[in-house]
Structure 1
Amino acid sequence: MKRSGNTAGWKSTRPLWLVAALFAWLTATAWVRPLMAPDEGRYAGVALQMLYSGDWLVPRLDGLPFFHKPPLFYWIGAGAMALAGPVEWAARLPSILGAVVAAATLFLFLRRWSTVRLALLSTVVLVTTPFFFLGAQFANLDMLVAGCITGTVLLAAGAVLARERDEPWRAMLAGAYLLAAAGLLAKGLIGAVLPVGVLLAWCAVTRKTAALRLAAWLPGWAVLLAVAGPWFVAMQMRYPEFFDYFVITQHFRRFASSGFNNEHPFWFYLPVMAGLTLPWFGWLLVPRRKEAQPAGRRLSDVDWLMWIWLAVIVTFFSMPRSKLIGYVLPALPPLAYLIAQRVLAGRPLEALLPRLRTMTLAAAAVCVTCMVAIVVYVTPPGARLRLPADLAASPGDQVAMLDSYTYELPFYWRLRNPVLVSGGWKAAGDEGRDNWRKELLDAARFDPARAAATLIERTQLATTLCSPRTSWLVGPNNAQLANPWLGRAQLVAFNERIAVWRFAGSAARDPHCLDLSPGAPAPAAQATTGKGTDGND
């Protein structure tokens, strides 16, 4: 492969302008919708607790060590909220940055090793597919690790190609190791294992066996260990069970076991990727022009890289039974390249420009329409359940959740202290399926003393609430059926799923303050009407 000659005239500032445009496009609507439950509320809440607590080392869910994932997402989110406050776009900034890294490195790699027009079109296709656009504005870890994986693959591949041509390659390879370390800190082992799998397969197929020695490049390993190593070592030293839980359970057992949420068949991601990349995906269904397929044409190194990359990612995440849509986000950059290549194959660019402009505008409109649909039709219960202006919680009040945990509520109420969570914890045991109860029980293993003060048995509620302080109680909107004593509390806000009560407590610390006398009126059923008091439902 030879270097494209049409890149020489490009000014060095062009990539910076491209990065700015990518950031502006992906951030433009990141603030318009409330956080979705449970994922966005969970990860934004952990980041906000990191900021409020001042402990930037241990991620915490409701004050308890939360080791489902490493801390990079929380570090970025907490830093953004330190500057902008707890607002939606700041909570989503880690995902936006991951998307910008993916798109920018794709452009720079293709501009160097292919053509400028293919680099530009691949980038446009990528950032205007609804799958990528919405993933960039969803506050979870998938897009952040996708950006790290993309950057690692492309920088490492660029280093291999540059070394073959006796060009400078060490800086690119060091960048690949740096992004692999970021991937480890973003979502664990897949941040490094998947890029290695892609690159090894690529080198084997293209017979770049000499390049395999770059995997043992000592300066790169020094970078990776210096960046990613300290946090993992610190957690293992502080919590002896960390390795078994984080590595064995969260990686290997989850990958190999059934019984987790979101079980789907092996072929699940094929229709998902086809449907969520429309209208661009339609180009892959257009028959190739005969003149675009010269006899004996061989795939280039870049072509092989993209095909192998796409196949490795989709196959890897198709093997476990548990599948989430966002897992295959790292497969979108190579798919965007293959779509762009099909669009441009054998067609004069000048003749294509009007259609490409129309397609780009249509794809962008689909992205925005999808965002509007989410705003209109998806109603997170906690985000729209704000307290009336004349009933704000005071710093000395306590907040308790009844048989539920509303992830996004601490974010919107800006709670600096953990909430109390009431439930049947002793009977719950170790649940097999992922839910709020299992997450809190897992976290409790690492700090039993704090958990004892936070996870309250139903039988302990009277001791907790019958004190001379105001309590704000959050639970399902029919919680009064299981907790008839809520008839003594003031219902202040509710919607179709959850409700909030204000309980004045007991100035005399009466341990029976939750008891209802035989003649007490039954709790009102008004919270089941589905009409909210805040005017937003």
Structure 2
Amino acid sequence: MCTGKAKHPHRQVRKQHRCVAERHSMRHTVEKWAVLILVLLLPLLSMAVLPLADTSEPRYAEIARLMVQTGDWITPWFSPGVPFWGKPPLSFWAQAASMMLLGSSEFAVRLPSWLCAISTTWLLFHGLRRLYGVSLALWTVIIYNSCVLAYIASGAVLTDPFLVLGTTLSMVSFALISQGMPVSRLWGYGFFGGLAIGLLAKGPLAAALVFVPVMLWSFYHRKTYAVSNRLPWLKGSMLVAVVCLPWYVLAEIKTPGFLDYFIVGEHFRRFLDAGWQGDLYGTAHQKAYGTIWIYWLLATFPWGVMMLATGACAIRSVRFRLAFKAMLAAPLRIYWLAWALFTPAFFTLSANILWTYLLPSLAAFSVLAALLLDELRRQFTFSKRSCLPLAGVVPLVGLMLTFVMYVKPDIRNSERTLIHYVAQQATPDMPLLYLGKQPFSAQFYSRGKADRISKAALPEKQSSGASFYLALPKAEQAEVARILGGPLEVLFQNRRHVLIKLPYAGAQPSSTNDKQALIKG
């Protein structure tokens, strides 16, 4: 504490300087904590107000809703009668449990991802605080949570946040153990606990994301035997087997063919075969080889751009080069590099990719970015406080987009407004049919009641005399009008679909308040 007076003037001056430095340090620490808390809390707003947008979010939400509806906690169901073999059930268990507690709302089904982000943040901070101190640990979690991909994923219905939680637990546990730090033995089991979480969240890919960086670091430092002796391999492996194997066995027994599709198809054919036609639940995401690095630039924004710009400056500037050398001299530098680079390197020659695949690598990237930022501060004697505005770029843009999409929800690919319109009509129980295939968001918001119909079946359905709502793509209006033999009376429309009611047998629009319009084919 800076109280009292020193007996000697020079000591008094030093004490005053020390007091000023302490106050500045405390103020900067408070500011960093405030930024971190703000970045962590802002996604809660979009989680509550934004509709689920096709296709991933409502698809996974509908699987969780069916889990609640059927009471089947072994097999996730893509739709009634169609098992979902694409992912293990951990995320669906969490989302289903959240909906049981909070109802079938957007916030409830997104909450587990946010809780995963909070848990991942805690693991990173706790581990790095022991390795490097509070300041660098705090900067790491600020950078991590303000990267575009991490920020979006924290408030979205995805399976990836659970994978990240598992890999981060394993990697942080290994980092602490590898340095011979006096930590609890629980961290040894944490390494295997993270593997169990990953195997139940994403499958064998989780093991590869953990073991390859660990092995690269161990071989580089020739510490494979010494480090491995610090891990409880027998008991840890038994822990993984006890937690994971029962579900895998029960899933195969309940729906034979699961293991072949999931292990071989999802983990090999999907990434090696650019034209893989075996995807039972969507379309192959065929991209040019190397596209993952473009995704990396977007996923790590704005910090990835900062690191690339610093690297470009290092070509001509000695001090920038010294900063990079000092960063690469930090303890565990090879470990963080292997962790950060393995995922994008692994998917460089993969054709079917999504940018969310990069999420497990962002924690290690954030450690490297924080180390580099620390070294740049030493070389150029600036306050890292001046970099805090970078952490606000993504949350600020996210807040603005949330407001825009709240005011105009139909700019997203979501059927929430159309389903709500039908529910508010005098005959809300009337069947709702989508021409062709109903979107996942229609399935979720209608609680599975929205169905589909083909063009060929339309005349027979209309002539049956049974009334129904028909949602058809806007581009199909002229064709449907021709099939039905008359103009369409549009009751409602969103970004993708128009809604009509059949049969109307020439009836006139009943109310201008419903914004009905005549569209001639």
For this pair of structures, how many residues does the alignment match?
Answer: 461
Question: Which of 58, 78, 82 pairs up with 1:61?
Answer: 78
Secondary structure of the structure 1 residue equivalent to 2:216: helix
Secondary structure of the structure 1 residue equivalent to 2:434: strand
Provide the residue aligned with 1:84 in structure 2.
Answer: 102
Give the TM-score, by structure 1 length: 0.75
* Residues 524/239 of structure 1: CA separation in 2 closer, same or farther (3 Å cut): farther
> What is the distance in 2 between the residues matched to 1:156 and 1:244?
32
Q: Displacement, 1:42? A: 0.6
Question: Which of 174, 185, 207 pairs up with 1:170?
Answer: 185
Matched, 1:358 2:389: yes
* Residues 361/250 of structure 1: CA separation in 2 closer, same or farther (3 Å cut): closer
Q: Deviations over 1:86-127 (max 9, x none)?
A: 221222123223322332211111101112111000111111
Matched, 1:387 2:386: no
Q: Displacement, 1:412? A: 1.9
Q: Displacement, 1:308? A: 0.8
> What is the distance in 2 between the residues matched to 1:493 and 1:276?
37
Provide the residue aligned with 1:266 in structure 2.
Answer: 289
| Residue type of the alignment partner of 2:95 | G
> What is the distance in 2 between the residues matched to 1:33 and 1:155?
36
1:54-453 superposed matches below 5 A: 54-63=71-80, 64-161=82-179, 164-165=180-181, 167-168=182-183, 170-210=185-225, 211-212=227-228, 217-260=233-276, 261-284=284-307, 285-286=309-310, 287=313, 290=319, 293=322, 299-345=329-375, 347=377, 351-369=382-400, 371-372=402-403, 378-385=411-418, 386-388=420-422, 390-391=424-425, 397-413=430-446, 415=447, 417=448, 419-423=450-454
* Residues 122/367 of structure 1: CA separation in 2 closer, same or farther (3 Å cut): farther
Larger Rg: 2
| Residue type of the alignment partner of 2:421 | L
Q: Displacement, 1:490? A: 7.3
Q: Deviations over 1:314-358 (max 9, x none)?
A: 111222111211111111111111111111116369951541333
> What is the distance in 2 between the residues matched to 1:356 and 1:490?
56
Q: Displacement, 1:471? A: 4.1
Q: Deviations over 1:291-312 (max 9, x none)?
A: 9839986634422211111111
> What is the distance in 2 between the residues matched to 1:146 and 1:48?
23
* Residues 480/44 of structure 1: CA separation in 2 closer, same or farther (3 Å cut): farther
* Residues 392/252 of structure 1: CA separation in 2 closer, same or farther (3 Å cut): farther
Identity of aligned residues (%): 23
Provide the residue aligned with 1:36 in structure 2.
Answer: 53
Q: Displacement, 1:487? A: 6.3
1:468-507 superposed matches below 5 A: 471-477=468-474, 478=476, 481-482=479-480, 484-485=483-484, 492-503=491-502
Give yes or no for contact 2:64–2:93 (8 Å, CA) kept in 1.
Answer: yes
> What is the distance in 1 between the residues matched to 2:431 and 2:325?
73
> What is the distance in 2 between the residues matched to 1:176 and 1:60?
31
Secondary structure of the structure 1 residue equivalent to 2:417: coil
Q: Displacement, 1:468? A: 8.7
Q: Deviations over 1:492-514 (max 9, x none)?
A: 43334223444579xxxxxxxxx
* Residues 342/70 of structure 1: CA separation in 2 closer, same or farther (3 Å cut): same
> What is the distance in 2 between the residues matched to 1:276 and 1:241?
35
> What is the distance in 1 between the residues matched to 2:135 and 2:490?
61
| Residue type of the alignment partner of 1:355 | S
| Residue type of the alignment partner of 2:252 | Q
> What is the distance in 1 between the residues matched to 2:485 and 2:143?
54
Secondary structure of the structure 1 residue equivalent to 2:492: strand
User: Runs of 5+ in structure 1 lacking a partner?
Assistant: 1-9, 425-457, 506-519, 526-530
Provide the residue aligned with 2:66 in structure 1.
Answer: 49
User: Runs of 5+ in structure 2 lacking a partner?
Assistant: 1-25, 277-283
Provide the residue aligned with 2:18 in structure 1.
Answer: none
Q: Displacement, 1:533? A: 6.7
* Residues 372/294 of structure 1: CA separation in 2 closer, same or farther (3 Å cut): closer
Secondary structure of the structure 2 residue equivalent to 1:36: coil
Give yes or no for contact 1:280–1:363 (8 Å, CA) kept in 2.
Answer: no
> What is the distance in 1 between the residues matched to 2:185 and 2:264?
34
| Residue type of the alignment partner of 2:438 | Y
* Residues 367/126 of structure 1: CA separation in 2 closer, same or farther (3 Å cut): farther
* Residues 357/292 of structure 1: CA separation in 2 closer, same or farther (3 Å cut): same
| Residue type of the alignment partner of 1:293 | L
Give yes or no for contact 2:42–2:395 (8 Å, CA) kept in 1.
Answer: no
276-285 vs 478-487, greater mean Cα deviation: 478-487
| Residue type of the alignment partner of 1:358 | P
Provide the residue aligned with 2:23 in structure 1.
Answer: none
Q: Displacement, 1:156? A: 2.6
* Residues 122/58 of structure 1: CA separation in 2 closer, same or farther (3 Å cut): same
Q: Displacement, 1:41? A: 1.3
| Residue type of the alignment partner of 1:493 | F
* Residues 33/276 of structure 1: CA separation in 2 closer, same or farther (3 Å cut): same
> What is the distance in 1 between the residues matched to 2:322 and 2:382?
19
* Residues 229/470 of structure 1: CA separation in 2 closer, same or farther (3 Å cut): farther
| Residue type of the alignment partner of 1:87 | S
Secondary structure of the structure 2 residue equivalent to 1:57: coil
Q: Displacement, 1:253? A: 1.3
Q: Displacement, 1:282? A: 4.0
> What is the distance in 1 between the residues matched to 2:264 and 2:515?
44
Give yes or no for contact 1:71–1:186 (8 Å, CA) kept in 2.
Answer: yes
Secondary structure of the structure 1 residue equivalent to 2:113: helix
> What is the distance in 2 between the residues matched to 1:532 and 1:293?
66
Q: Displacement, 1:235? A: 1.0
* Residues 106/168 of structure 1: CA separation in 2 closer, same or farther (3 Å cut): closer
> What is the distance in 2 between the residues matched to 1:382 and 1:324?
23
Secondary structure of the structure 2 residue equivalent to 1:61: strand
